[in-house]
Chains A and B, each alone.
Chain A
Amino acid sequence: MTDSLAISKFTELANPTRFLALAARILPWMAAATAILFAIGLYLSFTTEGDYQQGATVRIMYVHVPAAWLSMMCYTVMAVSAIGTLVWRHPLADVSHKAAAPLGAAFTLIALATGSLWGRPMWGTWWVWDARLTSVFVLFLMYLGLIALNRAMDDPSRAARVSAVLILVGFVNIPIIKFSVDWWNTLHQPASVIRMGGPTIDREFLWPLLVMAIAFTMLFFTLHVMAMRNEIWRRRVAAQRRMAARLAGREA
């Protein structure tokens, strides 16, 4: 595919009606793939052996780590969408970052809760204010702040621009989360999968983890397309209500 063809395909998607048609076609396949991946991932999660040190508690990792990865990936998707809003004014870019915020908040909440449930038996504490945990908690607050901001402003285009600027400013937190375990001496263990030199985790634990990570990622994209479709419909309802009010005003 040449560059110009790729750009024209991307531009075609700027039309919400074309996006809705594409979403209707791909959503059943995405939902089916998500369900199959979760079935395989959960089967692997509960049938593989426990770790020689952590025992069966290692199974918490299969939901905690994918949720933690997604909390950062979702924010990265929002940051790319924010650039789309501010630089190209792509009509679907602000729909994308608005739709992604509640998803990111939910995955961050899962990461925080399951991390705490793993920490109690392994570390002997539910929570510590170390660099990794604190920066992920800040990410959770940022998601909540962005949701509140979007709901507080009546004008969607103004809300989109303000949100986009805040998302890009807040993106500085993503490398802080990723490298916090290397930069500071924290209770949280260092990276063992995505690191220079390859994963240090045993293959027995790596496979269920990767399948669950792909399942979580497919779930995110399925829900993101659904939430974007809902947002387009919400804007159409608002536009049609305004049109109905204008018509009623003319007739009165």
Chain B
Amino acid sequence: MSHTFYIAMSYAVSAIVILCLVAWTWLDGRARRQELAELEASGIRRRSAQPKGDAA
């Protein structure tokens, strides 16, 4: 195997791991935001986010 193979593999492995990490972080954030939006749409809000006088 030529040295080019080892260099290309190193950059490919790094790129794959980094892209997976970025995609996982971004998709995780999108899924959590969606869950929060669904909960708020169904009227479930955090106490601090509820309008005053509606805390009970």
Contact = CB atoms under 8 A, between A and B. Distances in A.
A223 B29 contact: no
A240 B10 contact: no
A151 interface: no
A237 B26 contact: no
Nearest to B45: A240
* A: contact size bracket: 35 or more
B44 A113 contact: no
A239 interface: yes
Q: Is the interface of A mostly helix, strand, loop or mixed?
A: helix
A77 to B, nearest CB: 16
List of 9 A-B pairs having minimum Cβ-Cβ separation, nearest first? A233-B32, A114-B10, A63-B14, A60-B10, A244-B44, A237-B35, A117-B10, A230-B29, A240-B39
Interface of B: 1, 3-4, 6-7, 9-11, 13-14, 17-18, 20-22, 24-26, 28-29, 32-33, 35-36, 39, 42, 44-46, 48
23 contacts: A17-B48, A55-B3, A57-B6, A59-B11, A60-B10, A64-B10, A67-B14, A102-B21, A102-B24, A106-B17, A110-B13, A110-B18, A113-B14, A114-B14, A121-B3, A227-B28, A230-B28, A230-B29, A234-B32, A240-B39, A240-B45, A244-B42, A247-B44
